[in-house]
Chain A
Amino acid sequence: MIMTTTAQATKTAPTTTPARSIARLLLHGGTVFALLALIVFFFAMRPDVFLTFVNVKNILFQVSILAIIAGAQTVVMVVGDFDLSVGATSSLAGAVAASLMLTGVPIAIAITVALGVGLLVGLVNGILIAVVNLSAFVATLATMTSVVGLAYLVTAGTTLFDLPDGFNNLGQGRLLNIPLPVYFAIVISFILWGALRFTTIGRRWHAIGGNVEVSRLSGVNVRRARLLAFTIAGLVSAIGGILLAARLGSASAVQGGDNMMFSVAAVFLGMTVIKSGASNLGGTMIGVAIIGVMSNGLNILGVNAYVQQVVTGLIIIAAVTLSSLKTRQR
């Protein structure tokens, strides 16, 4: 029975003109296309620098922390929420680890405590949103504000440095001439990707993002799943923050702040990559790559850092406009 219906309904290939298929390629592959275009553009401008091994390594190094935090953001956005506190949480985790180490606490314990702090912030977000039923916007805006305050308290408003070498090596060390944070980013992204795709909680997250009410009536414990998503986001943000502190060899209350905006941007860019327009980790990584390539390329061309920020905003608008055209077309 099933075989016959499937065979019957085999879709006939739609007839397309070349012009239309190019238009479709631009729409569907627009974001990937933009990434390639950026790479070609910067390569053409500075062939001597841009695509050299050293610079590619640089780009990877620069985006590794953002990749981790954007991974955390992806999990929350798959569930249909978002988390404004990821950047602040990462700063706080870095600051906690640094200040503990400066008082003589062993590296491993300092890191564990910092991870615990991130987990706790995520848990608080989760409780506020999934149990108390605040909107994600209000709840994470509030926790962001408090968490930044806590980070200032921990650092006493200064920048903490003179961190142990063993700790700094986590961010500055190399394996096979490639910086360690790159490996961390790759491993964490793979774990999150696998969790989203192959685990029961991942499927539940996707379902909730698709339709909360349907999921609830299907027997999904929506409250627990959302709570878990925010908790994981907090934990993963803390990992990002600790690595950032190690890479910089210092910790301040604001050093992770930029990553919040960029992580949301990366997920939005990533949503334009796939047909359904949902958050997805692969797409997020392409978004991260776009942001990284652009910032590196503009640096190489000597463009002012503030201009870079303006351009990032414009790119997001372009990508999201493109994807809304796509949905309208469907």
Chain B
Amino acid sequence: MTMLKPPANQTALITPAPAFEARDIVKHFDGVHALNGAHLSVQPGEIHALLGENGAGKSTLIKIATGLYSPNAGTLHRNGETVEFANVRMANRAGVVALYQELSIVPTISVAENILLGEQIPNRAGLVQWKTLRRRAKERLDSLHQKIPVSQLAGELSPVQQTMVAVARALAADARVLILDEPTASLTDTEIRDLFMVLRSLRDQGVAIIYVSHRLEEVFELCDRLTIMRNGETIVTKRVADSTINEVISTMVGRSTGELYPDRGTATATVALTVENLHGHRVRDISFTAHAGEVLGIGGLAGSGRSELLRILSGAQKHRSGEITVDGSALPNSPGVARTLDAGIALVPEERRSQGVILSASIQDNIALSNISAVSSLGFVSGGRIATIAQRGMAELQIKARSPRQHVGELSGGNQQKVVLAKMLARKPKVLLMDEPTRGIDVGTKAEIYRLIRHLAAEGTAVIAVSSELPELIGMSDRILIMHEGKISGEVAAEGADDELLLSYCYGKPE
């Protein structure tokens, strides 16, 4: 009858080992740091929010946590023990499972098969024991209090039911650390309530949940603690009860913009583009004007309709209703890219490698592609004129390449982006649309692109640029429109713009 407790037990009581921990994680791609000292520590029985702006490194950290990437430095720990995940399977075996929005279910097979996917399918001599399969799947769904028919095709379920099936599968695989990436993006309010109920009950059963979301209200309603990342680093981890939304926003944004951006110019009174009551698939009731000489930034969260707006303006996507007027003349309905290019609107698209350049073709063939009528007569292309237009573009944009005949796939990201620009600038557009103009580009080339944008504006082009990065949006623009769920939720002058105000517009929360 000793009064002393065993010491090991005592320490365990004071600091239970985190269910999952990532320490000092460093990850770089081609020399660019995506993560530079990221930490994340999640206790069993906790819902932990992982927050940060786009590009802060959240997704990279999650991919490392689930074995999709391996870190360049740093360690992962599960219940206090160091672990290494060479692939997703290993992470899943260790109980770490991530649910992504779209990849989480197989729509063409039944709910039951989805839930037991990746496990030994109950069979006798190779024949599937459907009864056993369905019973096991049903048990899983019952434990989540879900009434979903297990024989139905998973693709026929509602979004929230699909999420539940994915959760059930994770639990069937005995997940103890569950990572959810924007799980509520396509759910209605009542469906979100259902999901939260399930997540809370999982938490009470001791599951550690990492919850990645841009929706701060939900985070404050659901989560116990939060970790904020910025520029690949973990800035802070604290209890949600000790935080406020405004404080979280200002921590996410941080402060610092260097000499990256050139001085602003002066917009002219000439209207280059007018958009009136534009409705598309996602965008709703968009009206604005852009002036010659102006850089108009468009911000908003992913999925807010920014890219769709640019695609509609460029003629790449049809719109339902509304008027687009370039330089005084109205565009016909659904004009197509060729017509809008002729009218003077050019688009530098978001995905350079899949939308901007043909990687297997030469620089000059890429540049010629948007300028076929300029380099041909009577249906025949002139090699000389292709070379001339390409060399002019390469010189103007200082594209670093061996020759105009070099394949674009061999160039760096920055130079590829310059090829896209050269292609479009050869058309002398009155309105230049740019979707994420500096994504995946090194800082030096970024500065060059900002100077170029400013130079084009000074020459009388109206530049409309979408960016997910607030500092970039503020630094390069004269005026900023923010979109939220397909609508323009706010307009701000870039000069001295308040990050927090912009971000609150992004979340659709006018101050």
Q: How far is the CA of A276 from the CA of B341 in the complex (A)?
A: 30
Of the listed stretches A112-120, A145-153, A201-209, name the one at the interface; the rest are far from the partner chain. Answer: A201-209
- Interface pair A219/B337, CB less than 8 Å apart: yes
Q: How far is the CA of A210 from the CA of B391 in the complex (A)?
A: 22
Query: Which of A5, A199, A219, A278 has a CB less than 8 Å from the CB of B360?
Result: A278
Of the listed stretches B215-223, B245-253, B375-383, name the one at the interface; the rest are far from the partner chain. Answer: B375-383
A300 at the interface (CB under 8 A from B): no
Q: How far is the CA of A221 from the CA of B372 in the complex (A)?
A: 12
Query: Which of A5, A198, A207 has a CB less than 8 Å from the CB of B365?
Result: A207
Of the listed stretches A6-14, A92-100, A174-182, name the one at the interface; the rest are far from the partner chain. Answer: A6-14
A185-204 vs B, CB cutoff 8 Å, 1 = contact: the mask equals 00000000000001111111
A213 at the interface (CB under 8 A from B): yes
- CB-CB under 8 A from A211, the residues of chain B are 354, 357-360
- Interface pair A203/B381, CB less than 8 Å apart: yes
- CB-CB under 8 A from A214, the residues of chain B are 354-358, 369
- Interface pair B338/A221, CB less than 8 Å apart: yes
A16 at the interface (CB under 8 A from B): no
Query: Which of A5, A207, A217 has a CB less than 8 Å from the CB of B347?
Result: A217
- Interface pair A219/B370, CB less than 8 Å apart: yes
Known contacts: A214-B358, A216-B337, A217-B316. The answer to whether A9 contacts B402 by CB under 8 A is: yes
- Interface pair A6/B316, CB less than 8 Å apart: no
Query: Which of A2, A200, A213, A219 has a CB less than 8 Å from the CB of B381?
Result: A200
Known contacts: A203-B372, A207-B358, A217-B316. The answer to whether A10 contacts B338 by CB under 8 A is: no
- CB-CB under 8 A from B407, the residues of chain A are 276
- CB-CB under 8 A from A132, the residues of chain B are none
- CB-CB under 8 A from B336, the residues of chain A are 221
- Interface pair B365/A216, CB less than 8 Å apart: no
A2-28 vs B, CB cutoff 8 Å, 1 = contact: the mask equals 100110011100000000000000000
Q: How far is the CA of A167 from the CA of B230 in the complex (A)?
A: 79
B398 at the interface (CB under 8 A from A): yes
Query: Which of B356, B360, B399 has a CB less than 8 Å from the CB of A276?
Result: B360
- Interface pair B368/A203, CB less than 8 Å apart: yes
- Interface pair B338/A220, CB less than 8 Å apart: yes
- Interface pair B337/A6, CB less than 8 Å apart: no
- CB-CB under 8 A from A206, the residues of chain B are 361, 365
Q: How far is the CA of A219 from the CA of B347 in the complex (A)?
A: 10
Query: Which of A9, A199, A276, A278 has a CB less than 8 Å from the CB of B379?
Result: A199
A1 at the interface (CB under 8 A from B): yes
Nearest-neighbor residue (CB-CB) of A214 within chain B: B358
- Interface pair B349/A217, CB less than 8 Å apart: yes
Nearest-neighbor residue (CB-CB) of B399 within chain A: A5
Q: How far is the CA of A6 from the CA of B66 in the complex (A)?
A: 45
Known contacts: A2-B395, A211-B358, A214-B354. The answer to whether A220 contacts B369 by CB under 8 A is: yes
- Interface pair A219/B341, CB less than 8 Å apart: yes
Q: Min CB distance, B360 to chain A, in Å?
A: 5
Q: How far is the CA of A10 from the CA of B403 in the complex (A)?
A: 9
Query: Which of B316, B347, B372, B380 has a CB less than 8 Å from the CB of A204?
Result: B372
- Interface pair B400/A219, CB less than 8 Å apart: no
Q: How far is the CA of A216 from the CA of B337 in the complex (A)?
A: 7
B329-364 vs A, CB cutoff 8 Å, 1 = contact: the mask equals 000000011100100000101000011111111000
A155 at the interface (CB under 8 A from B): no
Q: How far is the CA of A5 from the CA of B397 in the complex (A)?
A: 12
Q: How far is the CA of A246 from the CA of B190 in the complex (A)?
A: 74
B314 at the interface (CB under 8 A from A): yes
- Interface pair A210/B361, CB less than 8 Å apart: yes
- Interface pair A217/B337, CB less than 8 Å apart: yes
- Interface pair A200/B376, CB less than 8 Å apart: yes
The residue among A1, A213, A219 with the most chain B CB atoms within 10 A of its own CB is: A219
- CB-CB under 8 A from A199, the residues of chain B are 376, 379-381
Nearest-neighbor residue (CB-CB) of A9 within chain B: B402
- CB-CB under 8 A from B314, the residues of chain A are 217
- CB-CB under 8 A from B361, the residues of chain A are 206-207, 210
A209-240 vs B, CB cutoff 8 Å, 1 = contact: the mask equals 01101111111110000000000000000000
- Interface pair A200/B401, CB less than 8 Å apart: no
Q: Min CB distance, A72 to chain B, in Å?
A: 20
B176-220 vs A, CB cutoff 8 Å, 1 = contact: the mask equals 000000000000000000000000000000000000000000000
In A82-105, which residues have CB < 8 Å from any B CB? Answer: none
B394 at the interface (CB under 8 A from A): yes
Q: Min CB distance, B351 to chain A, in Å?
A: 8
Query: Which of A1, A200, A210, A217 has a CB less than 8 Å from the CB of B372?
Result: A200
B39 at the interface (CB under 8 A from A): no
- CB-CB under 8 A from B400, the residues of chain A are 5, 9
- Interface pair A218/B337, CB less than 8 Å apart: yes
- CB-CB under 8 A from A6, the residues of chain B are 401-403
Q: How far is the CA of A6 from the CA of B364 in the complex (A)?
A: 14
Nearest-neighbor residue (CB-CB) of A10 within chain B: B402
Q: Min CB distance, B125 to chain A, in Å?
A: 37
B423 at the interface (CB under 8 A from A): yes
- CB-CB under 8 A from B372, the residues of chain A are 200, 203-204, 220
Q: Min CB distance, A131 to chain B, in Å?
A: 14
Q: Min CB distance, B399 to chain A, in Å?
A: 8
The residue among B373, B399, B402 with the most chain A CB atoms within 10 A of its own CB is: B402
- CB-CB under 8 A from B423, the residues of chain A are 218
- Interface pair B358/A9, CB less than 8 Å apart: no
Known contacts: A198-B380, A199-B381, A217-B349. The answer to whether A9 contacts B401 by CB under 8 A is: yes
Known contacts: A200-B376, A207-B369. The answer to whether A5 contacts B341 by CB under 8 A is: no
Q: How far is the CA of A206 from the CA of B366 in the complex (A)?
A: 11
Q: Min CB distance, B370 to chain A, in Å?
A: 4
- Interface pair A198/B402, CB less than 8 Å apart: no
Q: Min CB distance, B331 to chain A, in Å?
A: 14
- CB-CB under 8 A from A2, the residues of chain B are 391, 394-395
- Interface pair B338/A219, CB less than 8 Å apart: yes
- CB-CB under 8 A from B395, the residues of chain A are 1-2
In A248-279, which residues have CB < 8 Å from any B CB? Answer: 276, 278
Q: How far is the CA of A238 from the CA of B400 in the complex (A)?
A: 48
Q: Min CB distance, B459 to chain A, in Å?
A: 19
Query: Which of B349, B381, B401 has a CB less than 8 Å from the CB of A5?
Result: B401
- CB-CB under 8 A from A1, the residues of chain B are 395, 398
Q: Min CB distance, B396 to chain A, in Å?
A: 9
Nearest-neighbor residue (CB-CB) of A203 within chain B: B381
Nearest-neighbor residue (CB-CB) of B368 within chain A: A203
6 A-B contacts (beta carbon < 8 Å): A10-B402, A211-B357, A213-B355, A215-B369, A217-B337, A219-B369
19 new A-B contacts, CB < 8 A, other than A2-B394, A217-B355, are A1-B398, A6-B403, A9-B400, A10-B402, A198-B381, A199-B381, A200-B372, A202-B381, A203-B372, A206-B361, A213-B355, A215-B358, A216-B316, A216-B337, A217-B314, A217-B349, A218-B423, A219-B337, A278-B360
Task: Identify the A interface with B (CB < 8 A).
Answer: 1-2, 5-6, 9-11, 198-204, 206-207, 210-211, 213-221, 276, 278
9 nearest CB pairs, A to B: A210-B358, A219-B338, A218-B370, A2-B395, A218-B369, A219-B341, A219-B337, A9-B402, A211-B358
